[in-house]
Structure 1
Amino acid sequence: MTMPAAIEAVRAAFAGLTAGEFELPPRQAFSDSRSLVMAVHHKPTRSTAVKVISIEIERDPVITGTIVYSHPDGQFVTDAVPLTTLRTGAVVGVATDLLADEDASHLALFGAGAQAADQVRAVHAVRPLKKLVVFNRNARKAEALLDSLKDELPDTVMDVAAGAEEAVEGADVVCCATASTVPLFSCDALKERVHVNAIGSYRPVMRELPQALLESAEVVVVDQVEAALSEAGEIIRAVRSGVLRLESLVELGAALGNPPLREGRTVFKSVGVAVQDWAVARLLA
């Protein structure tokens, strides 16, 4: 399964979500969000995807779990880990294609964990990379990530940043894939025209983005407003403090149908919704 195929599948799924094709109940979280259950039903095909995962930040792998995909002709069960990294990368590819400049080629990546490689692959699929800079608390993990990607990105200049401000300097696109509870960088360190993706935080106490970025961004796109307001720490904090108006949040499916201008700083915040799992699982059916 290729990243471009996953991106197209996820793009179509979000358009379908906006068109009312899915029944999508809220995600169920247990044990302080260490166990998650996500389900979705696609009405036109009468197919259903259910994912159950366990998340332990200090464990390797951090995520374990399964996905069950069921349709009128049968069902299958598969490992949730590779599909989760793929679908999370794919939605970033969709958002980056929508919001980043067409000539964007410099990516700054925060985090070198299980999600990181597919974040890079997704951005590269829609905006071929000339430069990739990674910042991670453990520099050796960042170096290992770059080493694993060098054959896939032979024409890309790669580097490990010594600090957060150095990492985002000059970047056209920024991807955040961490478990941080504090903003990863200063808004002032960003270019005036930059697109930022954040997929790491999925609990109200977690934050990757500075409030100043959410306040000043030309557009803030989320996968689903309901999910963002219950799980995305930076969105919850910004809305409650009044720096981000609730009505200014744009859902990805709606943005695909009415693309915003690519101006100033743009943000995509994802906590992950089950239509993404359905979209990539369907490619295996």
Structure 2
Amino acid sequence: MGFIKLPRWKTYRRRSRKTVRFESTEETNFPFRVQQLTSRIFTLEEDLQKSNHTTELLRAQLAEYDMLLAHAQCRVGETPPPTFQTDEQSVNQASPAVSPSNKTSKVWIDDIWLCNDAENIPIQEAEAYWKNGSPQSALEIVSQAIDANPFLSATEDIRCRIFAAAVLHSMGRFEVSNRRLGVIIESVSRYSLLNDLRSRDLVGIAYYVFGRNLIEMGEFAEAYYSLSRALGTPGYHNKTRDYQKAAVVEFTRQKVMAETASVSSSLQPTHVQ
């Protein structure tokens, strides 16, 4: 019996059916794949929430350990002053997000401001006055730039305002400094003026200066919380941790002194008439 060759049109019809069957299978599987992706996204969101919760727990534990260490130091009566980094060590850790150029002479001013912005000319000039011991002149220069310079970008404007708050801190005007910083933080958070890495770094610097003001005002618990918002700011992490430890030590010392005074008062003999 010989081989019977099928007509070409039948072969075409068979191929066409296979193609139709394949397309039909794809259409059937599409809702299932969407469901799989949706389930995967939901799982990832749950994992992210769990990770954030774990991070908050670890931060709380870190604060507790700091508190226990400070409490022990106060009980022993040997509370060494916090050790701060040298200017060179701190500046070298600044990232390109905050340090756009390596040409600027970067230095910490009074442990409150890291000079590292080669693009902002008003701040460069004001930093020079501040470093030379003229904070009032620095404040006047940067204030004039904020009020009268039409070419300042949103980023430069925010940085100038934070710089002015840092200068006010160095002049001992802590409450005024924090009022200005509060307006900056609220504005950026409410209106999302700059949703980029650079704006987050600037807000971190604002929280750092805010926390330093609170330390000087004796509000150590609030200072610790504010400084925790600056831990991720490039170039500021080590300084922030040092001042957090100092805040915990001072807070615990106050608590211990208050408890000691209370106990001493209760043990005093009562004079009977």
TM over 0.5: no
Bigger proportion of residues as strand:
1
Larger RCO, structure (CA 8 Å, separation 6 or more) = 1
Say which one has the larger Rg. Answer: 2
TM-score (norm 1): 0.28
TM-score, scaled relative to structure 2: 0.29
